[in-house]
């Protein structure tokens, strides 16, 4: 009995994290539009995304971030990444990332699973 109750508690407390069972292979496809601006291992139009899961926002050396992202105080855990990829401008008003966001939660979870493989 104790474990199902614990699972319920976790699901209620961290709804996004509990559902973040993403498929990294599908996430690689969802990353296609991001490639216009992002790479792994180097900065481009957007910052280097190697190791971004768990990283403090606006902390990549040598990249010129917006003041908005620098002031956000965000750490890119799954919940914050999810909200960001759903609607960057709603999550961080004033960001210079020009991306409308993905409406599809499953696609976002897959994308985060893919990003998590890039350490
Ligand atoms: C048109 C270019 C563009 C596209 C497309 C784009 N990004 Fe970005 N991204 C940026 C820029 C520019 C920033 C820096 C934002 C700032 O400083 O406000 C950024 C920042 C980020 C950050 C924060 C990184 C950090 O170091 O804090 C993440 C995570 C991110 N992008 C992920 C993605 C993903 C995943 C996609 C695809 C779904 C994507 N981006 C699509 C340009 C883009």
Query: Smallest Cα–Cα separation from 31: which of 83, 85, 88?
Result: 85
pLDDT band at 63 (very low <50, low <70, confident <90, very high): very high
**82: exposed, middle or buried (Cβ count in 10 Å: 0-12, 13-18, 19+):** buried
- pLDDT tens, 64-119? 999 999 999 999 999 999 999 999 999 999 999 999 999 999 999 999 999 999 99
Count CB neighbours of 85 within 10 A. Answer: 21
Whole-angstrom Cα distance, residue 31 to residue 116? Answer: 12
Whole-angstrom Cα distance, residue 115 to residue 119? Answer: 8
Distance of CA 93 to the CA centre of its chain: 16
Answer with the residue of higher pLDDT: 84 or 2: 84
CA 100 / ligand 1 centre spacing (Å): 11
Residue 9 has pLDDT above 80, yes or no: no
Ligand 1: which of 35, 46, 50, 88 to mutate, judged by most atoms within 8 Å of the beta carbon?
A: 46
Query: Smallest Cα–Cα separation from 116: which of 33, 11, 13, 27?
Result: 27
Tokens of 103: 């409406």
Mean pLDDT of 7-21: 54
30 and 102 Cβ atoms separated by less than 8 Å? yes
Average pLDDT of the chain, as a whole number: 90
pLDDT of residue 41: 97
Answer with the residue of higher pLDDT: 14 or 39: 39
């Amino acid at each position: 009995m104790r474990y199902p109750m614990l699972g319920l508690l976790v699901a209620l407390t961290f709804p996004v994290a509990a559902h973040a069972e993403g498929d990294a292979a599908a996430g690689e496809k969802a990353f296609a539009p991001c490639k216009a601006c992002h790479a792994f291992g180097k900065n481009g139009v957007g910052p280097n995304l190697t190791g971004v899961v768990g990283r403090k926002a606006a902390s990549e050396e040598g990249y010129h971030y917006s003041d908005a992202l620098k002031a956000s105080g965000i750490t890119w855990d799954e919940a914050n990444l999810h909200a960001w990829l759903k609607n960057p401008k709603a999550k961080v008003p004033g960001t210079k990332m020009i991306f409308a966001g993905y409406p599809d939660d499953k696609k976002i979870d897959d994308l985060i699973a893919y990003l998590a493989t890039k350490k």
